[in-house]
Structure 1
Amino acid sequence: MARDLPAAEDFYAAVLGWVFRPTRLGEEFSVAFLDGTPVAGMGALAHSLKAPVAWTPYFAVDDADAAASRICERSATVAVGPLSFGTGRAALASDRDGAVFGIWQGQAIPDWSVGTDKAPAWLELRTRDAFDAAIFYAEVLDWACGQAGCCQVAYEDDHVVLRHYGNTVARITGGAIGEAPDPQVRPRWHVYFYVPDVEFAVRTAVKLGGSTVSPTEPSDADAWVTLSDPDGGLFTVTSRDPAAPPAGPGQSAEQPSRS
């Protein structure tokens, strides 16, 4: 969600090489493409919803109303919706620890899949208790349900790893602090985007008013750096394979990320 959609499009086009196209949802929405592949969606909603600028994952569900009911039944919050948007229904929610996410029922772009091709490399939930969060999302979103096409959940090296058809799509790490004033430390979903040249992406972001957030400096093929766009939206650029997501800034590979 962006405050100024054209300005946000210009920033991400320069930093990540995206091309934006309008959608059937109206002038306040666009879809980003990289080499013809859909990568992400952007909406000029932050101002109207009085919400912070942020990247928010939307998870596909068969029934948005039923999923919203499951969220509320488990002491989490549905902030907006479910509402009808174009070809489907959507809702914006937060889990029990305050991490914001969305749900989407309806037609989706067939090639839009995290962890494959040009799409986002992976998602990471930084939360208080990784195991407790995994149970919540599994119950709400039908993860590990045993049905064809559902996501598989595994507990590996103190992290919960989510895979879809063998592709690593998300990781849940524990140790976030709910009352922390720093948004990097509070529970939240975080997105990693592929770039061919991490150093170029960082230089371009800073030149256009963004900033580096992580202390990590790009130095090799596995470089990754967390950035903030000019309005405070946090994301990470990486050239690393999502099969082995990096630890957070200041953490060893064996420690949970807190940033």
Structure 2
Amino acid sequence: MTEATRRTPGTPCWVSLMVHGLDATQEFYRALFGWEFVPGPQQLGPYVRALLDGKEVAGIGQLPPDRHLPVAWTPYLATDDAHETAEAIRSCGGTVAVGPIDAAEAGRMAICSDPTGAVFGVWQAELHHGIAAAGPPGTPVWNELLTYETSAVGKFYRTVFGFEAEPVDSADFDRMTLHVAGRPVASLHGVGTALARDRGAHWMTSFEVADTDAAAHLVAELGGQVLRPPGEATRGRHALVSDPEGAVFTIVHSTASAAA
């Protein structure tokens, strides 16, 4: 993908994190993923874009001191019209918490939540088209919604963004894959009462790493936590970790990467 590529509506196109300690957070992710940072739009306060080999892969902003919001990675879904998408979100039972607002010449954005409370962003690209590299270690490679059950919330995302939804046929799993133009782009996972009460429904971003075990060890060395140790899964060897401020994410050495 290139920076000039306008994403098809519904495609996850960016991930962003709002934290209290911007400098310390940059040091953590620089050491973990090899990111470098450049200034980004400052409409919501200090904000930097993370670069990997000169290509934009994520954003990190600083929360105002008086804002005690959960620190979490937030995926952004592409749209051709942020205003129309915001209206559709409201009409389908979701909430628009911020925006749509202009992010300088980069584009327009909104911060929203689905009817179960899971937070996500909406991005209408102008000059900034989102993640410019996906696949190499240090890049976001997948987003999954952890929710109570997939059928009702799946209808919300299908209606708002036009996803094609493919349920996973299993008596043991409540999982649904979302497709855009025939290509899988995200998934919904219903976990019922196993959903953490202190978090509720939430989106989870996975970042590619060259070695899951080594990356998990590094997370702990850098002051983060390993919440679920490395293990094998459908998409490869993964671990659930958090950064020093508590933002939870998945690190994965994907099967595709291992075969490449």
Provide TM-score, normalisation by structure 1.
0.79
User: Aligned Cα RMSD in Å?
Assistant: 2.8
Alignment of 1:1-259 (within 5 A): 1-25=18-42, 28-45=46-63, 47=65, 49-87=67-105, 88-107=107-126, 109-110=128-129, 112=131, 116-117=135-136, 119-143=139-163, 152-157=164-169, 158-164=174-180, 167-177=183-193, 180-183=196-199, 186-216=200-230, 222-241=236-255
- Maintained 8 Å contact 1:121/1:241: no
Work out the number of aligned pairs and report it.
Answer: 232
**Kindly tell me: are residues 132 and 214 of structure 1, through their superposed partners in 2, closer, same or farther at Cα, counting changes over 3 Å?**
same
Structure 1: segments with no counterpart, 5+ residues: 144-151, 244-259
Provide TM-score, normalisation by structure 2.
0.78
Deviation, structure 1 residue 225: 0.6
Q: Secondary structure at the match of 2:46?
A: strand
**Kindly tell me: are residues 172 and 46 of structure 1, through their superposed partners in 2, closer, same or farther at Cα, counting changes over 3 Å?**
farther
Deviation, structure 1 residue 156: 2.3
Deviation, structure 1 residue 19: 1.6
Instruction: Report the identity percentage.
Output: 35
Q: Deviations over 1:187-221 (max 9, x none)?
A: 10000000112222112211121101114458xx9
Higher RCO (CA < 8 A, seq sep 6+): 2
Structure-2 separation of matches of 1:95 and 1:110: 23
Q: Secondary structure at the match of 1:121?
A: strand
Structure 2: segments with no counterpart, 5+ residues: 1-17
Q: Deviations over 1:79-129 (max 9, x none)?
A: 112222112221111111111111112325447268645631100001112
Instruction: Tell me the residue number matched to 1:252.
Output: none
More strand by share: 2
**Kindly tell me: are residues 136 and 230 of structure 1, through their superposed partners in 2, closer, same or farther at Cα, counting changes over 3 Å?**
same
Letter in 1 for 2:153: A
